[in-house]
Amino acid sequence: MSEPEEQLRDQSAERFLRLVQQKRRGTLKVYLGLAAGVGKTYRLLQEARDLLQHGVDVVIGYVETHGRTDTVAQLQGLPLLPRKSVFYRGRALEELDLQAVLQRRPQVVIVDELAHTNVPGSSNEKRWQDVEQLVQAGISVITALNVQHLESLHDQVLKITGQDVQERVPDQVLRQADEVVNVDLTVAELRRRLEEGKIYDLQKAPTALRHFFRTENLAQLRELALREVANQLGQQIDRGQQAVVAPDRRNQDRLLACINTNAPAAREIIRKTLRLADRLGAAAWYVLYVQTPAEAADRIGLAQQRHLINNLQLATELGAQILRVKSPDVVGTVLRVAAEKNASLLICGVTRDKGFWAPVVRRGVTFELVRTVARAGRDLDLFLVSY
């Protein structure tokens, strides 16, 4: 490793150490990558070594080496906490021993694979919940995540890769991180590593190269990762600036997302609104469901009702405030709620099955909403999400 790279690593460890020393609540640092194999776990272990050299009490809570030679070598000599053995469906599985970490109370713990789903019966359903519990207990955590596991990017990742990523992390977890570091690798280098068997078994490489690890896929995922880290940095800067800005000068944008029982469309609108709220630094965002007589509980199927509940729960988990109103007048209700909540931006969906503007031509709800807002002359913008 070159001297400049070693200096940068040393500075990173020192910066994280200062954060740890300044806060009573634990500090969260996330290494974000575009895909498996870019070197996130390797960087976790490098940082653990650097912190040890600075006299920090750091332990390895959970690291998944995937048998990669370089990563296994980095793990040697580092203090490891035993994993928790769990028997599930006749198999012995290993998980992060959350209680052992809490009892040991190190200054810093390394916890890999933030998006991991814990074995049923664990203290928490998801590993990111374990991490939140550790941070709340005053233990600093360094973890790793691939960009495709971010909740708000689910629909984009599905379109890019064709894969429906099941293990997802709420964006709020990343927003609360004290530091987000992009672990970058060129697409060509990542594919070369795959071809050499440094990521998966050589027998799996050809299939991976033709599917998830296609050049076009990786290029778009790399862009998503870079944008996400830039967005996080921008938010941290904004938070620092807002600390010295008078309250009436801060961003007062309020976003109102409108959904119905169209489950895929509702999910996309919710996730898109979250990302808009993040980028705008919005004061609040809401998800409104107007239940018309046609969508009464006794007139729609149980599957639709279940999907609606799941989407409202998703919105809650992502930080939205939920509004449910019964009314035959969707447009009037949307505008009334927008006025009550001082919304500055409405987010609605339009189908692209027959062209982007097909619903407008058919004079549907979206058309009426656009026309009514335009005639009202209010300071209210519209953002249309195609699905």
Average pLDDT of span 67-93: 90
Residues 314 and 371 in one domain: yes
Say yes or no: 190 and 66 in one domain.
Answer: yes
Of 106-120, 137-151, 194-208, 225-239, which gets the smallest average pLDDT?
225-239
Question: Is 116 within 8 Å of 167 (Cβ atoms)?
Answer: yes
**Average pLDDT, integer, range 45-69:** 94
pLDDT at 271: 93
Provide the whole-model pTM: 0.75
Q: Give the Cα separation of 338 and 373 in Å (integer).
A: 11
The pLDDT value given to residue 16: 66
Q: How much is the pLDDT for 360? A: 47
| Domain-terminating residue out of 196, 217, 242 | 242
Local confidence band at 251 (pLDDT 50, 70, 90 cut-offs): very low
- The CATH number of the domain where 213 resides is what? 3.40.50.300
- Same domain for 297 and 213: no
Residues 79 and 32 both lie in one domain: yes
Residue 21's pLDDT band (cuts 50, 70, 90): low
Query: H helices within the chain, ranges in order?
Result: 3-22, 40-53, 69-75, 98-104, 127-136, 154-161, 171-175, 187-195, 205-210, 215-242, 263-280, 302-317, 330-340, 358-361, 365-376
The verdict on 104 and 218 lying in the same domain is: yes
Same domain, 140 and 89: yes
pLDDT over 70 (residue 177):
yes
Is 112 within 8 Å of 143 (Cβ atoms)? yes
> Is residue 170 located within the same domain as residue 277?
no
Both 215 and 282 in a single domain?
no
What is the number of structural domains in the chain? Answer: 2
CATH code (residue 295): 3.40.50.620
Assign 133 a pLDDT band (cuts: 50, 70, 90): very high
Classified as helix, coil or strand, 237 is: helix
The range of the structural domain enclosing residue 25 comes to 3-242
List the structure tokens of 13.
């460890």
- Do 27 and 88 fall within a single domain? yes
Task: Among 8-17, 313-322, 338-347, name the one with the lowest average pLDDT.
Answer: 8-17
| Same domain, yes or no: 174 and 280 | no
Residues 117, 34 share a domain: yes
The mean per-residue pLDDT over the stretch 27-53 comes to: 95
Q: How many H-runs (helices) and E-runs (strands) does the chain carry?
A: 15, 12
Final residue belonging to a domain, choices 210, 242, 274: 242
Average pLDDT over residues 96-122: 96
Domain identity same for 234 and 287: no
Of 207, 242, 277, which residue sits at a domain end? Answer: 242
Q: Is the pLDDT of residue 203 over 70?
A: yes
pLDDT at residue 103, rounded to an integer = 97
pLDDT tens per residue, range 255-292: 999 999 999 999 999 999 998 998 888 889 999 999 99
